[in-house]
Structure 1
Amino acid sequence: MANKKTLILFPLITQGIFSLFLPFFHAFHLKGLTDVFILTTVPAFLFALVCVYYQFHQRNLVQIAFFSGAISFFYTLTVLSFFLFQETFTEPMSLWEQSLALLFYAMMFALPSMMYAMVVLRLLLRKAPKT
Structure 2
Amino acid sequence: MQKTSLHILWIYPLLTQILGSALLPLFSEFSQGGMLVVFALFTVPAFLFALVSYKQQYHQRNIIQIAFFSGVIMFIYSLFSFSLMLAFDEYTSLEDPIPLWEQSLAVILFALTFALAKVMYALLVLRLFLPKV
Query: Is TM-score (shorter-chain normalized) higher than 0.5?
Result: yes
Structure 1 gaps of 5+ residues are none
- Offset of residue 25 of structure 1: 2.4
- Between the aligned partners of 1:10 and 1:98, the Cα distance in structure 2 is 32
* Mean CA deviation greater in 22-31 or 119-128: 22-31
Q: Which residue of 2 aligns with 1:123?
A: 128
Q: Read off the aligned partner of 1:86 and give its amino acid letter.
A: F
Residue 112 (structure 1) aligned to one of 90, 97, 117: 117
Q: Determine if the alignment matches structure 1 residue 31 to structure 2 residue 70.
A: no
In the TM superposition, 1:85-100 aligns within 5 A as: 85-89=87-91, 90=94, 91-100=96-105
**How far is 1:3 from its partner?**
2.2
Whole-Å Cα distance in 2 between the matches of residues 27 and 51 of structure 1? Answer: 33
Match of 1:62 in 2: 64
- Alpha-carbon shift at residue 74 of structure 1 (Å): 0.2
Amino acid at match of 2:50: A
The aligned length equals: 128
Identity among equivalent pairs (%): 49
Q: Normalising to structure 1: TM-score of the pair?
A: 0.94
Shift of 1:24: 1.6
Report deviation, 1:23.
1.2
Structure 1 residue 127: deviation in Å?
Answer: 1.0
The runs of 5 or more residues in structure 2 that have no matched partner are none
Q: Give the match's secondary structure for 1:58.
A: coil
| Residue pairs, 1:1-80, within 5 angstroms | 1-80=3-82
Q: Which amino acid aligns with 1:9?
A: I
Q: Aligned partners of 1:10 and 1:44: how far apart in 2?
A: 7
Query: For residues 4 and 119 of structure 2, what CA distance do their matches in structure 1 show?
Result: 22
Per-residue deviation at 1:2? 4.2
- For 1:117 and 1:3, locate their aligned partners in 2 and report how far apart those are by CA, in whole Å: 16
- Report SS of the residue matched to 1:27: coil
Per the TM alignment, residue 103 of structure 1 is displaced from its structure 2 partner at its CA by: 0.2
Query: TM-score, normalised to structure 2's length?
Result: 0.93
Q: How far is 1:72 from its partner?
A: 0.2
Secondary structure of the corresponding residue to residue 93 of structure 1: coil
